[in-house]
Structure 1
Amino acid sequence: MIDAYSWATPNGHKVHIMLEECGLPYRVHAVNIGAGDQFKPEFLRISPNNKIPAIVDSEGPDGKPISLFESGAILLYLASKTGRFLPEDVRGKYEALQWLMFQMGGVGPMLGQAHHFRIYAPEKVEYAINRYTNEAKRLYGVLDKRLAEHAYLAGDAYSIADIATFPWLRSWENQGVELSDYTHVKRWFDEIAARPAVQRGVEVLAKHRKPVDDKERDILFGATQYQRR
């Protein structure tokens, strides 16, 4: 059994979708990041960076429990555990891994900054809004070019690269992007959104998430976030 400690965010949904796609038995534990659950000692023991998601697999690779944090690492672990969504051939594997790293190092952080400065920042900083909105559009352009030549990010087969990237593109409006401007991304996005496992995955914990108030804003973005623990 896999215990998933998570919240309804793009990074959380990556793991929810992967678990649903793989058909693995799992239990989900809500870590309300707006309430500060991510700073509790019991969560920090499995996620020392105080970020969701994290998992504990009671049946690890050596038959003993294993805990993992960082969504990309979790996707790789689940792909290895099930033999799914990561090509077995060396060339295909690295095609998938480079696009997974593209998501982890570019799509997630940059679109997250676009969200922050466009939606959550207490003051509107024009330079930051323009910088991250333009970077979001650039990244969509990179994806669009890739998807003009391939059905999926890693080539002809759906993989963890697609699973990692899709949840971040669900909030394209908040990123200052018009999805219809990227026809190949939209084709890919609509196809993935129609997958039953994806539809189940994005509903996990979704009903618990509410608009961020001032107290939650401080926990997520203020001094509380930066305390040494």
Structure 2
Amino acid sequence: MATDDLTIVLADDQDLVRAGFRVILESEPGFRVVGEAPDGAAAVDAVLALRPDVVCLDVQMPGVDGLEAARRIAALPDPPAVLVLTTFDDDGALFAALEAGASGFLLKNASPERLIDAVRTVAAGDALLDPDVTRRVISRATATTAAAAHAPDPVRTPATGTRSDRATDTGAAAIAAVGLTERETEVLRLLARGLSNAEIARTLYVGEATVKTHVSNVLQKTGVRDRIQAVVWAFERGITASS
């Protein structure tokens, strides 16, 4: 067995699901599933014992669920990348998992090729959001913002403004506080829409290397680990494509 194989631990409470993922992943040259776990606690133990490159975590597992497992794994020294594989029944779980330190999200009904690409992406240190997941994130965030904006606001004063004004002001203040340029802010908003670097490059009519530089600057200035955390940072501060 090659020593430079990409090693993977699978954590899911369904035996058939783990078996299916194993078959898919081990069909890829250089991929090796070194362990399996039926729950989050066992997943953490497997990481400690096997030191894999990637952990594929289900969200809903008995005992210690995938969210708590992701938190525990992220807190380990030199942790592996965490790829969450979900049916996406719970929008709140997605945000909790983002904050827990997951590197990527993929729907369980994704194609085998997409699963392989996702594992390779997070193993390389990049972050990944399934486009369908991103659309749901945006929909949820937009609905929350719209509800707040249309809630009764009995008094408008120059000091307080309306709720929507305050949301816009909060986003603008956050952008100013970390010193994002206009182009970096534009890139952040496109990240929040789930666009890849190549898609952002086409949208802005710039080279992909330029986009990578902007993304790197955004991560550095906002103090986040990766592009997924940048999306969370943007949504939490009301910085969206329309803000």
Interval of TM-score (by shorter of Structure 1 and Structure 2): under 0.3
Q: Pick the structure with more helix per residue.
A: 1
Q: Pick the structure with more strand per residue.
A: 2
- Larger Rg computed on CA atoms: 2
Instruction: Identify the structure with bigger relative contact order (alpha carbons < 8 Å, sequence gap 6+).
Output: 1
